[in-house]
Amino acid sequence: MADEQTSWWTRPCGGRDVLRVALPLVISTGFFSLMLFVDRLFLFWHSKQAMAAAMPAGMLHWTMVCFPIGVATYANTFVAQYHGAKRPERIGATIGQAAWLGVLVTPLFLLAIPLAPWLFHAAGEEPIVRHYEIVYFRILTLGSGAAVISGAVSTFFTGRGETRIVMLTDVSATLINAVLDYALIFGKFGLPELGMAGAAWATVASHWFKLVIYWWLIHRGENATIYQLRAGRRLDWPLIWRMVRYGAPSGLQMLVEGSAFTLVLMKMRGLGTDAMTATTVALSINSVAFIPLVGLSIAVSTLVGQRIAQGQPELAARTTWSALTLGLFYTGAFGVLYLIVPDVLLAGYAMGGDPVEYAQVRAVTIVLLRFGAAFCLFDAIQMVFVGAIKGAGDTWYVLIATIVVSCAGVIVGWIGSAAGGGLYWWWTVITLWTWAQATAYAIRFLQGRWRTMRVIEYEPEPKLDDESTPQLEAV
């Protein structure tokens, strides 16, 4: 028994406890990264130009949706803290307000469709690449609302630690996406050959599939009664204010970071199709290492939020260190692969792509993967620590740190580019950017201010003068 309390693996909030919650989310986000990898792989097989267009168009779409997604999915922290405080009746209202956000912003997303030609105007870019970017972006926009709403509803499960449901749903959506990718890009199974448009339609279909499944799952059994799901149908202004107060910085942080990275990618577009293709290939491979860390970060936010609500900040800290160990081990393995066997990671592109086009990007991509090896461990550091402090509610610091680091990265990058820096200069900037963010989040975590934070309201004390009268809970 004593060994179980002291072992890193078996102690409370040790490796086993963290992995129990994190593994389904890591698998879930891992399948999402696999979906992106397969999507880019099929596009490379289709044409180098389609591959080059996928990354900037996809990043610009992400920049458009990341703020509402950040606000809506911050409901995870509220659900985790209500669950930890044993107040399930407040969870339905939380999910409802987050879902309403997605409904309200959907018409705004559609306004971006006619703006696509202007958004992708760039001197020196191949016309066919620009055409692919516009097509891809416009179709992806049709699934934006579903992405926000499904993200909001998924927090009903992640915030309470039921991460297996999220895993199974996301895995199913990924498989549907992959099959539709193959069928619609190349015209298989009797479906038309749509190329770039087919990849976008497959992604849109997977978003709407997830929304339908989550909506069905959340209304099963006694969930409606236990969690008072009907409360989410009406506006709860005190709760909305708290969600905006803590969730808006989280969404803005994602917007700032996404916008800055999109600016970098847009600048890279001027370096030529081969440079952009190599960048897309390297980032697609690295997504298999990075995106599962998002699942780990969500798990850390959930567990830290629950422990904070229970008044156990020491166990919250232990959770974070346990998760960091797991994250470093995972990303470290990829760093070794990037350095030792890059051609193994590129094998899929070699098999299905045009041999001449593959040869043009192979050597450059191998160098870019070495940059990935230099920053992959810092990806783990930043994702674990940012998950911890956001799980407690320290979102304003995250926003400020992101603004400072992102602006510095873009400014330094542009200065170096004006002085003659090329593709490798921009990847040096990306590496330093990752190091700086990891350092900023680690310092904040070690300072410990997050230990006394909380996003949910405190329960009122019962009146002592009339104990027989049921007390209404404050909202």
Tens digit of each residue's pLDDT (9 = 90 or more) over 278-292: 998 999 899 989 989
pLDDT band at 190 (very low <50, low <70, confident <90, very high): very high
Report d(CA 34, CA 39) in Å as an integer: 8
At residue 172, what is the residue type?
Answer: S
Query: Amino acid identity, residue 220?
Result: R
461 domain-assigned: no
Identity (one letter) of the amino acid at 232?
G
Q: Does some domain include residue 460?
A: no
pLDDT for the residue 188: 94
Residue whose structure tokens are 């992400």: 62
pLDDT for 143: 95
pLDDT computed for residue 55 by the predictor: 84
CA distance 323 to 389: 13
Is 459 within the bounds of a domain? no
* Predicted pLDDT at 271: 86
Asked if residue 341 has pLDDT above 70, the reply is yes
**For 314-318, what is the mean pLDDT?**
95
Q: Is residue 13 left, alpha or beta, with left meaning phi > 0 and alpha meaning psi from -120 to 50?
A: left
Q: Quick check: is 60 in a domain?
A: yes
Contact 171, 27 (CB under 8 A): yes
In a domain, 292, yes or no: yes
Which range of residues forms the domain containing residue 323? 12-452
Cα four-point dihedral sign 59, 63, 67, 69: negative
Q: Is the pLDDT of residue 216 over 80?
A: yes
For residues 392 and 451, the answer to whether their CB atoms sit within 8 Å is: yes
Phi, psi of 213 (to 5 degrees): -65, -45
Q: What pTM was estimated for this model as a whole?
A: 0.82
- Total domain count, the chain: 1
Q: Residue 463: which pLDDT band, with cuts at 50, 70 and 90?
A: very low
* Count of Cβ atoms closer than 10 Å to residue 115 Cβ: 12
CA distances 254 to 33, 163, 171, 260, 355, Å, are: 18, 23, 24, 10, 38
Mean pLDDT for 410-424 is 94
Q: What is the pLDDT of residue 475?
A: 30
**Is 467 a residue whose pLDDT tops 70?**
no
In a domain, 19, yes or no: yes
Lowest-confidence segment of 83-97, 124-138, 207-221 by average pLDDT: 124-138
The one-letter code for the residue type at 101 is L
Residue 284 lies inside a defined structural domain of this protein: yes
The pLDDT assigned to 400 comes to 96
Pair 326, 333: CB distance under 8 Å: no
Longest CA–CA span in the chain (Å) reads 84
pLDDT digits (tens, 9 = 90+) for 251-305: 999 999 989 998 998 888 888 888 888 998 999 899 989 989 999 999 999 899 8
Residue 170 covered by a domain: yes
* φ, ψ for residue 406, nearest 5 deg: -65, -45
Q: How far apart are CA 298 and CA 306, in angstroms?
A: 12
Residues listed for the chain: 475
